[in-house]
Amino acid sequence: MYEFTPIGWLKHCIFHPVEGFEDLRWKKQGSMKISAVIVFMLFVAMVADRQLTGFQFNGNYVKIFNVVPLIVQSVVYYITWCIGNWSICTLLEGEGTFRKICIYSAYSLVPYIVCTLISVLLSNFLVQEEAIWLIALYYLGYGWSIVLMIQAMRACHQYSFGKTLISMLLTLAAMLLILFLAILLLSLFQQVYVFFYQIYTEIAYRIRG
């Protein structure tokens, strides 16, 4: 029935929150490349939101710009989400593969990205009295993406609505766990590195005499 280009499929999913992802799944569509681009655009939107928002709306600490937190908040969170969701839903008899989870999650992020970019653009033309437009856009983007995300996960794993919500909450818990372990691992490895580096310097000093 549906014959779209990959971009056409993306549009179809975004504008048909109820059936879009089911169609996507049925037709075995969805592109990993486009997902990667979307996640990159999420990062770009976050940077734009921080740096290019109109001065009168920008409450960020502009003296220092550090890109690492923004990468973490976009790319790393996305990857953790996918991993967490895959781990949880494998246990909860979900039908989605890792690839599908990645693609569906990324597709449902598009409204948020688009709304953020539009509000960044608008914030350069509006004054504070008209901030209501930006707030409306913000909630629109958020709400739409959340609805899409729920639908995407539901279609991906063929869950009921309630089970989808539970699995998503569990995914959030899993994300916390993963990030905690990652930080723990990082600090441990750093200590191991420091240990070996100290041994190296010690030996180096001995050899030099």
Binding interface with other proteins (CB under 8 A)? 2-5, 7-8, 54-56, 59, 61, 63, 125, 127-129
> How far apart (Å, rounded) are the C-alpha atoms in residues 117 and 42?
10
Place of tokens 């041994």: 199
Q: On the CB side of 150, how many CA atoms lie within 13 Å of its CA?
A: 15
Query: Could you tell me if 78 and 39 are in contact, meaning their C-beta atoms sit under 8 angstroms apart?
Result: yes
Give min distance, CB of 176 to other proteins, in A: 23
Per the CB < 8 A criterion, the answer to whether 143 and 137 are in contact is: no
Report CA-CA distances (Å) from 197 to 169, 185, 190, 206. 42, 18, 10, 14
Smaller CB separation from other proteins, 29 or 145: 29
CB of 51 to other proteins, least distance (A): 14
- Closest to other proteins by CB, 4 vs 142, is 4
User: Shortest Cβ distance from residue 3 to other proteins (Å)?
Assistant: 4
- As measured in angstroms, the least distance from the Cβ of 55 to other proteins is 6
Residue with Cβ nearer other proteins (95 or 130): 130
- Which CB sits closer to other proteins, 126 or 172? 126
